[in-house]
């Protein structure tokens, strides 16, 4: 029997995951701030093009969104991201970072190093539950 490998996640799917989780427009100013990509580049990604320059950071942020959504759903038994305003958390929340002190989730996810740290800490935390 052949082994089926999972299909790689496209950059368009990553963009959609971020957009859905935070309830923000895929080409809006909020997405520009999180990804660092211009609205025109984001528009091309929405159309299915790929951008090597932004792929690693977008993949990290999308993984964070997907994994946090799954963790919240497992903890609450529902789609907690829809029950709580993740967009509000993006603006008003506070997160502690190793090298940059307290940041808003917005600023932490917009920085590749901090986004990687957030993903690592999320995975560590979920693994200890």
Q: What is the CA radius of gyration of the chain?
A: 15
- Sequence spans of domains, the chain: 11-127
**pLDDT grade, residue 30 (50/70/90)?**
very high
pTM for the full model?
0.85
Instruction: Determine the distance from the C-alpha atom of residue 71 to the mean position of all C-alpha atoms in its chain, rounded to a whole number.
Output: 14
Other C-beta atoms within 10 Å of 79: how many?
A: 12
HSE, CB side, 13 Å, CA atoms: give it for residue 15: 29
If you search the block for the tokens 């940059």, which residue do you land on? Answer: 100
**pLDDT grade, residue 72 (50/70/90)?**
confident
């Amino acid at each position: 029997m052949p082994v089926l490998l999972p299909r790689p996640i496209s950059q368009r799917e990553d963009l959609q995951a971020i957009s859905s989780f935070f309830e923000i427009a895929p080409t809006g100013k909020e997405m520009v701030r999180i990804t660092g990509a211009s609205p025109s580049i984001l528009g091309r990604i929405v159309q299915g093009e790929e951008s090597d320059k932004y792929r690693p950071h977008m993949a990290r942020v999308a993984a964070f969104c997907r994994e946090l959504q799954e963790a919240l759903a497992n903890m609450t038994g529902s789609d907690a991201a829809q029950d709580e305003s993740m967009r509000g958390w993006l603006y008003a929340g506070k997160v502690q970072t190793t090298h940059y002190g307290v940041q808003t989730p917005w600023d932490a996810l917009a920085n590749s190093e901090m986004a990687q740290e957030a993903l690592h800490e999320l995975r560590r935390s979920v693994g200890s539950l």
